[in-house]
Structure formats: structure tokens, C-alpha cells
């Protein structure tokens, strides 16, 4: 029996309508985690959980589950868990638990310190940058890095490792061309603010950060992330 042409066209039309009305198959999400793991020697994506994030988002297993899932879905294979920021120090137990969860899930894990709101405020960027001429502030910085070194073999300093203070103590030391750190006094080549701050931050880094951290953990490595603003 011969099929009428209009029936063929009707069949094709109905088939097209059914296909159009069927839910489209979503393409499979790319396996960014697997891709990142395979090419980690070329490039590694990392993310930072601030000290406040550690407190609010990583303090429970449910929060850690969400963080782990997000990192996997976005191809992040290394995380920095921060010990200190804006005057707040994250709790040891929370940091250790988060560190174990991430490591057991296959992530690289390092520490981080953001040197904001420590001790005596600078006269410049107030309540953010510190006066590192001030001995108690130097001691506070040392305690923070000793704490971080007791938890991690690698610590990143985030953004704010500088001073812009021009207080009377800083000015007197600048004019005297001396820097005093950890009970030791060092000469400064000139009397400009650049001369003074360069020597001050170098000595604080050597004595109060690197030296102090390595006494706690001889394996520790300290890296710096310079500001991008």
C-alpha cells in the first residue's frame, strides 16, 4: 500500500515536536579535579581560607564537606589555612582538624598569616598596618609566627608585610640611623624613611619571623604574596 505524502510529513513533524519537548541531556560536568591533579606540575590552583573563614566555615564537618566539594569542583588542589588576620587568631584544634581533612582528601595544605591589626597601629594606615619599631609589637609578631610554625611546614605572608609609620619612636630611630630588634641594634645606611624601613623590616623578618619560626619548626618555609592593589 502506498503511503500518502501528507502522512510522512505529519510523522516527521510530530517526531520533531516530541524531540523538542523532551528534556535536553545536560552535558557532563568536566572533571576539573582530575584534570588539575594530572597537570599539577604545570600549574596548581590554590585558595586561601582566612582565619575568619576557618572559624565560620571550617569549624564543623558539614562546613568542611562543603569546602572540600567546592575545591574539587573548581579544580583547586592546594589550600592555605590562615592562623591570623585582623587581630584574630584561629583556634589550634579547628586548624588541625581542617588540615587533616584536606590532607586526607588529597590536597596540599599550608598555613598563612596576614599581618593586620597587630600591636601598636601605624600612624599611616591606622588599625591595619603596625609600628614595627615598637618592641611589644615585634614580640606579638614573633608569637604569631611561632604559632603558625607549630602547625605547618609552609607559611605564606599575605599582602600586608610593610610599615608606613612615622610616629615619634620611628622618627627618632630614623634620625639616629639605628634599628633595634630583639634587643639588638643595627646601623642604618641613611636617614631617609626608605632607608629606615628597609633595614627595620629586613631585621624583623630575619629575627622575629624566620629565626623564631625555625626554632619552633626547623623544616618551616616562609613565602610571601605581594599585594596586587
Its pTM stands at 0.85
pLDDT in tens, 153-186: 999 999 999 999 999 999 999 999 999 999 999 9
- For residue 121, what are the contacts with CB-CB under 8 A and spacing of at least 6? 127, 128, 129, 130, 131
- Residues 188, 179 contacting (CB under 8 angstroms): yes
Angstrom distance (rounded) from CA 196 to CA 193: 5
pLDDT tens across 7-21, in order? Answer: 444 444 444 444 444
Does the pLDDT of residue 45 top 50, yes or no?
A: yes
The average confidence (pLDDT) of the chain is: 91
Which residues on neighbouring strands pair with residue 221, listed in sequence order?
154
pLDDT digits (tens, 9 = 90+) for 121-143: 999 999 999 999 999 999 999 99
Across 84-122, b (16+ Cβ under 10 Å) vs e yields bbeebbbeeebbebbbebbeebebebbbbbbbbbbbbbb
User: So what's the pLDDT on residue 8?
Assistant: 41
69 burial type by CB count under 10 A (0-12 exposed, 13-18 middle, 19+ buried): exposed
CA 75 remoteness from chain centre: 17
Amino acid at each position: 500500500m502506498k503511503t500518502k505524502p501528507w502522512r510522512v510529513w505529519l510523522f516527521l513533524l510530530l517526531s520533531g515536536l516530541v524531540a523538542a519537548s523532551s528534556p535536553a541531556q545536560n552535558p557532563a560536568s568536566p572533571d576539573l579535579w582530575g584534570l588539575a591533579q594530572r597537570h599539577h606540575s604545570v600549574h596548581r590552583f590554590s585558595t586561601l581560607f582566612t582565619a575568619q573563614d576557618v572559624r565560620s566555615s571550617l569549624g564543623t564537618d558539614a562546613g568542611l564537606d562543603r569546602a572540600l566539594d567546592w575545591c574539587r569542583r573548581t579544580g583547586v588542589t592546594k589550600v592555605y589555612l590562615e592562623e591570623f588576620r585582623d587581630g584574630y587568631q584561629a583556634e589550634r584544634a579547628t586548624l588541625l582538624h581542617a588540615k587533616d581533612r584536606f590532607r586526607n582528601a588529597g590536597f596540599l595544605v599550608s598555613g598563612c598569616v596576614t599581618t593586620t591589626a597587630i600591636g601598636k597601629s601605624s600612624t599611616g594606615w591606622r588599625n591595619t598596618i603596625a609600628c614595627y619599631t615598637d618592641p611589644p609589637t615585634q614580640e606579638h609578631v614573633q608569637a604569631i609566627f611561632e604559632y603558625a610554625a607549630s602547625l605547618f611546614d609552609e607559611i605564606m605572608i599575605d599582602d600586608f608585610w610593610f610599615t608606613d609609620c612615622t610616629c615619634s619612636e620611628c622618627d627618632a630611630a630614623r634620625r639616629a640611623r639605628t634599628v633595634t630588634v630583639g634587643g639588638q641594634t643595627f646601623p642604618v645606611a641613611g636617614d631617609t624613611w626608605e632607608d629606615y624601613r628597609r633595614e627595620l623590616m629586613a631585621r624583623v623578618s630575619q629575627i622575629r619571623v624566620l629565626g623564631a619560626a625555625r626554632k619552633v619548626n626547623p623544616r618551616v618555609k616562609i613565602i610571601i604574596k605581594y599585594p596586587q592593589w
